[in-house]
Amino acid sequence: MPVPSSGFLSLGLSDKLTATLTALGYEEPTPVQREAIPLMLAQHDLLAQAATGTGKTAAFALPIIQLIGGDAAAGPRSKERTALTVKAMVLVPTRELAMQVSEAIHKYARGTGLCVVPLYGGSSMQQQIRSLERGADVVVATPGRALDHLRRKTMNLDAVRVLVLDEADEMLDMGFAEDIETILDETPDTRQTALFSATMPARILKIAERHLQKPRRLAIAREKTAAGKMPRVRQVAYIVRRSEKPAALDRILEMEDPASAIVFCRTRLEVDTLTETLNAHGYRAEALHGGMEQRQRDAVMNRVRAGKADLLIATDVAARGLDIEQITHIVNYDVPAAPESYVHRIGRTGRAGRAGTAITLAEPREHRLLRSIEQLTKQKIDVATVPTVADLKARRLEVTRASIRERLLAGDLDDVRGVVQALANEFDLFDVAAAAIKMLDATTDADAEIETEIEKEPARPSRGSGLSSPVRLFIGAGRKAKIGPGDLVGAITGEAGVTAKSVGAIEIGDNFSIVEVSEDVADDVIRAMKGASLRGKKVTVRRDRDPRQA
């Protein structure tokens, strides 16, 4: 039986770190860990091409702990630790990944006394400031929130010795290029820098040329699927605007009627909101994201595996390592920024020779991402039209027909034959049957609501929260400032301390946004947001005059 820690020990990691890895159940390093760890321990700058799921978090986290952990070995009250000053920083694109990376570093650093602080939007700024004031050895941050702290002077990067850019291509896709440049300029030229990216476009190479010193380069190839093992997956995309996605998903799920499905979302807020919406529409949906405790995740997975849920709504981070048998459908509620993430997602269906379906909801501007996925997979993604109300009615009639046929084949109809005979004495038998089917398939008000949302009001994005007393707030930042719904909701809930249920419809223009909030929290939101910033910039926040009341 091999010694579990021998592989990691050979990379130059300390006995203490390898013992921790053994206790955590790690056996052998992955290719990216085997290549990157010795280079980082030798304090080389690193330019690494590695996709999500290759083990790259440990590839940079373990060297960080060893390189700066000695200063923190005395414990939380280490004399080396200074308020607001950090020794290592990891920049990541999303809140979910910030939490996941922070948790990983904390886990690997057990017993060292090293302090890790995550910084991301949607969380209390004051709590983050208090954590930084107590002293942080490692900060894991999204670019926008890191910039907020730098401008408030609540974080100092003068002593940073190691800086990591994780999923750099996704950060650029999300519009963080300028923020990243500003943050890099705040760190010492003597720092060690490691850049990890799933792809290496020209703009990534330009950042590396400007900010990395004689970097060592490595590329970890994607795992190839053995011949004959490719999952049989039907791939289809629907082009819909963001505001239309909940209603569109409702229609698609009704048409597809999946036995079991995973719906992937980008953020945990989106997971929670969509789960609540789908449950309200009669599905048995369960949420899974990085903001949940392990016992909550275990309970969710137990219900899913026991067949007590139709849909699992999850983020990529939370879904890593999931092994659920007989998933019939994978739904990408958002197009993954990295094509490799798409491959990992759809690989969870179509297993063991069974057929599977991968559905993607893409916004009009995301055609480019679909083409990138096709180039990677060498497979065509069919673009379909969102089912219409007429399609849904036809589908229901087909289900009704199949159910009636099954019932006829089962027999045992003697107890109702008398009713049919009585009606047949008065009406044509064909009409009697048609009336019965009509009653079974009575059109619901939900059809009209769906039709209104998708086909009749294309200009008004809505989160569909149904606030009883909505107030429209004007926020002086929009698409040109790379503002998205998640930024607005995260800022409002984080700064004003209100729940997401108090936030309603969102409209984003080029230079401004309109957000509906509950009347009872409107003034609190305005006060809180006046002291906050979006994407590192101060913005105007005030009540908006509703044009419909003009």
Q: Per-residue pLDDT tens for 22-34?
A: 887 777 888 889 9
Quick one: pLDDT at residue 207? 93
The phi, psi pair for 438, rounded to 5°, reads: -60, -40
244 and 369 fall within a common domain: yes
Same domain membership, residue 267 and residue 206:
no
What average pLDDT does the segment 283-299 reach?
Answer: 83
* pLDDT score at 442: 57
User: 190, 219, 248: which is the final residue of a domain?
Assistant: 219
Task: Give me the mean pLDDT over the 178-192 stretch.
Answer: 94
The answer to whether residue 464 sits within a structural domain is no
Q: Looking at residues 111-131, what average pLDDT do you find? A: 89
Range of weakest confidence among 222-226, 271-275, 423-427, 530-534 = 222-226
In the sheet where 355-362 sits, what is the strand order?
A: 285-288, 311-315, 261-265, 329-332, 355-362, 232-239, 382-384
The answer to whether residue 283 is domain-embedded is: yes
SS3 state of residue 231: coil
Least confident of 119-128, 221-230, 419-428: 221-230
Counted domains in the chain = 4
Other CB atoms within 10 Å distance of the CB of residue 451:
16
| Assigned domain for 451 exists | no
Q: What percent of the chain is modeled with pLDDT above 90? A: 25
User: Where do runs of H (alpha helix) occur along 257-359?
Assistant: 268-280, 294-305, 316-319, 339-346
Alpha-carbon span 350 to 258, nearest angstrom:
13
Report percent pLDDT > 70 for the chain: 84
User: Quick check: is 427 in a domain?
Assistant: yes
For residues 285 and 206, state if they share a domain: no
- Residue 190 CB burial class (10 angstroms; 0-12, 13-18, ≥19): exposed
What values do phi and psi take at 525, rounded to 5?
Answer: -65, -45
H or E element at residue 150: helix 143-152
Mean pLDDT of 473-502: 77
pLDDT at 320: 61
> Is 455 a member of any domain?
no
Q: Predicted confidence band at 318 (pLDDT cuts at 50, 70, 90)?
A: low
- For CA atoms 3, 54, 196, 35, the dihedral sign is positive
Task: Show the 3-state SS of 436-493.
Answer: HHHHHCCCCHHHHHHHHHHHHCCCCCCCCCCCCCEEEEEECCCHHHCCCHHHHHHHHH
Residue 404 has pLDDT above 60, yes or no: yes
Residue 40: how many other CB atoms lie within 10 Å: 26
User: What was the pLDDT predicted at 293?
Assistant: 80
For residue 426, is it within any domain? yes
- From 346, 369, 387, give the residue that closes a domain: 387
Query: Which 3 state secondary structure label does DSSP give 263?
Result: strand
Mean pLDDT, rounded, for 325-334: 86
Q: Cβ distance 83 to 134 under 8 Å?
A: yes
Q: Which structural domain range is residue 112 located in?
A: 6-219
Do the Cβ atoms of 403 and 257 come closer than 8 Å? no
Residue 72 confidence (pLDDT) above 70: no
Q: How confident is the model at residue 468 (pLDDT cuts 50, 70, 90)?
A: low
Q: Cα–Cα distance between 28 and 503 in angstroms, integer?
A: 47
- Region 45-66: mean pLDDT is 88
Q: Quote the pLDDT of residue 449.
A: 41
Same domain, 175 and 302: no
> What is the average per-residue pLDDT within 100-126?
88
The CATH number of the domain where 490 resides is what?
A: 3.30.70.330
Q: Are residues 370 and 423 in the same domain?
A: no
Please indicate, yes or no, whether residues 301 and 176 belong to a single structural domain of this protein: no
152 CB-near residues (< 8 Å, 6+ apart)? 129
User: Which pLDDT band holds residue 5 (cuts at 50, 70, 90)?
Assistant: very low
Q: Which two tokens stand for residue 392?
A: 């849904």
Question: With bands split at pLDDT 50, 70 and 90, how would you rate the model's confidence at 545?
Answer: low
Mean pLDDT of 514-540: 81
What average pLDDT does this structure show over 489-499?
76
Give me the helix-helix angle, 56-68 and 15-23, nearest 10°. 140
Q: How far is 409 from 149, CA to CA, in rounded Å?
A: 69
Work out whether the CA dihedral 92, 97, 100, 104 comes out positive or negative. Answer: negative
Tokens of 280: 């309200």
459 found inside a domain:
no
Mean pLDDT of 434-452: 56
Token pair, residue 271, equals 């997971």
Report which of 85, 41, 42 is spatially closest to residue 64, judged by C-alpha positions.
41
Structure-block tokens of residue 10: 């050979």
Query: Average pLDDT of 470-485?
Result: 81
535 neighbors 481 (Cβ within 8 angstroms): yes
Distance CA 14, CA 114 (A): 15
Most confident of 214-228, 237-251, 347-361, 395-409: 237-251
Q: What integer is the mean pLDDT of 233-237? A: 89
Strand partners, 504: none
Higher model confidence: residue 529 or residue 444?
Answer: 529
- Nearest Cα neighbor of 50 from 60, 40, 42 is 60
430 and 488 together in one domain: no
**411 three-class SS:** coil
Domain presence at residue 203: yes
> What pLDDT was estimated at residue 75?
40
Q: Do 256 and 347 lie in a common domain?
A: yes
pLDDT at 51 over 60: yes
Residue-wise pLDDT for 123-180, tens only, equals: 788 999 999 998 899 999 999 999 999 999 999 999 999 999 998 988 887 788 899 9
Domain-ending residue, one of 219, 242, 264: 219
Residues 418 and 523 in one domain: no
SS3 content of the chain, % helix, strand, coil (to 5): 45, 15, 35
User: What span, in angstroms and rounded, lies between the C-alpha atoms of 141 and 116?
Assistant: 11
Does 108 lie in the same domain as 38? yes
Buried b (16+ CB within 10 A) or exposed e, 211-233: bbeebbebebeeeeeeeeeebeb
| pLDDT confidence tier of residue 74, bands split at 50, 70 and 90 | very low
For the segment 208-221, the average pLDDT, to the nearest whole number, is: 91
| CATH at residue 305 | 3.40.50.300
Strand 46-49 vs strand 216-219: parallel, antiparallel, or unpaired?
parallel
More confident of the two residues 166 and 378: 166
The angle that helices 202-211 and 177-185 make with each other, rounded to 10 degrees, is: 10
Q: Please indicate, yes or no, whether residues 380 and 433 belong to a single structural domain of this protein.
A: no
Residues 236, 214 share a domain? no
Rounded Cα gap, residues 244 and 480, in angstroms? 22
